[in-house]
């Protein structure tokens, strides 16, 4: 019903001579604005429905990539990790140097406990950008999840050093806090299960923080 209403915004206007491509372009424009509005208010399922409809209508590769970028983020935020993997795999096939998509792909792998795959993607990011503090931070978390506590601590210390030099205040706080938790866990152990909750919580924080640089700024352009 919503799509019919969107279509009628144009076919009911007096410019009935508009060709199909122009009409489709305007429908996509409206859907994208509404999807960005939904994402801004964290209504990710509603946004995903609109973005999927845009993909059905959009043929231009660059525009499809922008839609997929937002759809992948919505999938991550809703816990649709396998769907997010498919989206980011498409983006990386078209642009292998896209470290942000690779970071989100690694986050989806890590959330599913496909830790070896996550490690591979994070190492690829760091091979091209050794100063990526969030990628190094998440690599340390993956090492920890594999039980490689010595390697995890070393990597988290490197992440902390990178964040001090290249990170913003929020990134510095994320890495500093994770380093403190990791040092405490190594020193005192953790039989309470809190570390498993912490892993998912920290992964979500880094996903949101990464998106604040790449995705979320574009959401503020639209206001209803």
* E strand intervals along the chain: none
Phi then psi dihedrals of residue 79, to 5 deg = 80, 15
Q: Which pLDDT tens digit goes with each residue over 156-170? A: 999 999 999 998 888
Residue 190 DSSP SS3: coil
Q: Which two tokens stand for residue 45?
A: 């399922």
Residue 55, judged by CB atoms within 10 A of its CB (0-12, 13-18, 19+), counts as middle
Walk along the chain (224 residues) in steps of 10 and give the mean pLDDT of each run. Answer: 44 46 90 94 95 94 94 94 96 95 94 94 97 94 92 96 92 91 83 51 69 56 39
CA–CA gap between residue 82 and residue 92 (Å, rounded) = 15
pLDDT given for residue 202 in this prediction: 64
The pTM is what? Answer: 0.81
Angle formed at CA 138 by CA 134 and CA 139, multiple of 5 degrees: 115
pLDDT given for residue 4 in this prediction: 41
pLDDT given for residue 181 in this prediction: 87
Residue 14 has what DSSP assignment? S
pLDDT given for residue 151 in this prediction: 96
Q: Which pLDDT tens digit goes with each residue over 79-99? A: 999 999 999 999 999 999 999
pLDDT given for residue 7 in this prediction: 40
Residue 130, judged by CB atoms within 10 A of its CB (0-12, 13-18, 19+), counts as exposed
CA–CA gap between residue 106 and residue 104 (Å, rounded) = 5
What domains can you pick out in the chain, each with its CATH number? 1-96 (1.25.40), 97-224 (1.25.40.10)
């Amino acid at each position: 019903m919503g799509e019919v209403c969107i279509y009628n915004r144009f076919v009911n206007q007096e410019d009935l001579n508009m060709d199909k491509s122009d009409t489709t372009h305007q429908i996509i424009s409206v859907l994208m604005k509404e999807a960005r509005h939904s994402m801004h208010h964290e209504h990710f399922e509603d946004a995903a429905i609109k973005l999927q409809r845009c993909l059905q209508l959009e043929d231009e590769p660059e525009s499809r990539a922008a839609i997929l970028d937002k759809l992948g983020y919505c999938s991550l935020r809703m816990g649709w990790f396998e769907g997010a993997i498919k989206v980011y795999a498409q983006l990386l096939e078209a642009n292998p140097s896209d470290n942000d998509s690779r970071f989100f792909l690694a986050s989806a792998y890590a959330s599913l406990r496909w830790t070896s795959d996550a490690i591979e993607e994070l190492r690829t990011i760091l091979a091209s950008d050794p100063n990526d503090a969030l990628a190094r931070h998440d690599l340390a978390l993956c090492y920890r999840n594999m039980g490689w506590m010595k390697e995890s601590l070393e990597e988290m210390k490197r992440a902390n050093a990178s964040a001090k030099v290249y990170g913003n205040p929020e990134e510095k706080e994320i890495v500093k806090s994770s380093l403190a938790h990791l040092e405490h866990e190594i020193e005192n152990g953790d039989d309470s299960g809190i570390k498993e909750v912490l892993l998912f919580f920290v992964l979500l924080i880094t996903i949101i923080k990464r998106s604040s640089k790449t995705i979320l700024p574009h959401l503020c352009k639209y206001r209803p």
